[in-house]
Amino acid sequence: GAGVSQSPSNKVTEKGKDVELRCDPISGHTALYWYRQSLGQGLEFLIYFQGNSAPDKSGLPSDRFSAERTGGSVSTLTIQRTQQEDSAVYLCASSLSAVGYEQYFGPGTRLTVT
Amino acid sequence: SQQGEEDPQALSIQEGENATMNCSYKTSINNLQWYRQNSGRGLVHLILIRSNEREKHSGRLRVTLDTSKKSSSLLITASRAADTASYFCATDLVMNRDDKIIFGKGTRLHILP
């Protein structure tokens, strides 16, 4: 594809349910990032992948959050037992490499936990 | 604590005026980038400046970097209504052998007609 895509674009879920968010990076980009953005706030770093490995998971808010990347391409961010404070826009970005390259962002997934 | 912090948090100017936003950071960096975000969705990369560069231009954008003061500024000249957006600086940190990019909270720029 021409850019980073994310699905779904919007997700409404009930508190306690699990959700899976998907990110398709630009082909050939080895680095992939997940961020969370609450209304009117900056980006909160969650996790990044270099290839299939995640050197830095320090941003994941709790053990309810996990992410994986397979084949150096698609990534999924899973939130188990969702809470209302998980409501936010989840943004994915990819770049050629983790160092010194611009990030290309997807349109985000707006998650609402009711 | 926040690595990159933009200043001011919000800025309103008349169309045609210049807009200046600043970013301060705490630790040594390899690069600093500026991004724009419209409508709270995906960010768009504007410009990247490396730690050995002091100034960079791209169209109506001018970015400066002062590593001694750990600060950067983004200047938008001859502002237009379409420049209304949030602007973020992003710094990449050298942590052990892994880099990660940290975004600030952004400056909300509003161009008045």
What is the tens place of the pLDDT at every residue in B76-86?
999 999 999 99
Residue A109: the pLDDT is 96
Closest in A42, A89, A108 to B104, CB measured? A42
CB A44 within 8 A of CB A59: yes
A contacts of B38 (beta carbons < 8 Å): none
Residue B20: the pLDDT is 96
Q: Which residues of A have a CB under 8 Å from any CB of B?
A: 4, 33, 35, 37, 39, 41-43, 45, 48, 50, 55-56, 89, 91, 93, 98-100, 102-108
Checking if the pLDDT of A58 tops 50, the result is yes
Strands A10-13 and A109-113: parallel
Residue B2: the pLDDT is 47
User: Counting beta carbons within 10 angstroms of the beta carbon of residue A82, is it exposed (0 to 12), middle (13 to 18) or buried (19 or more)?
Assistant: buried
Checking if the pLDDT of A23 tops 50, the result is yes
Angle at B30 between CA B26 and CA B36, to 5 degrees: 80
Asked if A102 lies within 8 A of B42 by C-beta distance, the reply is no
DSSP, res A85: G
Burial A53-71 (b: 16+ CB within 10 A, else e): ebbbeebbeeeebebebee
B contacts of A109 (beta carbons < 8 Å): none
Checking if the pLDDT of B98 tops 70, the result is no
Closest in A41, A55, A106 to B42, CB measured? A106
d(CA B89, CA B2): 12
B contacts of A108 (beta carbons < 8 Å): 41-42
Query: Which amino acid makes up residue A82?
Result: T
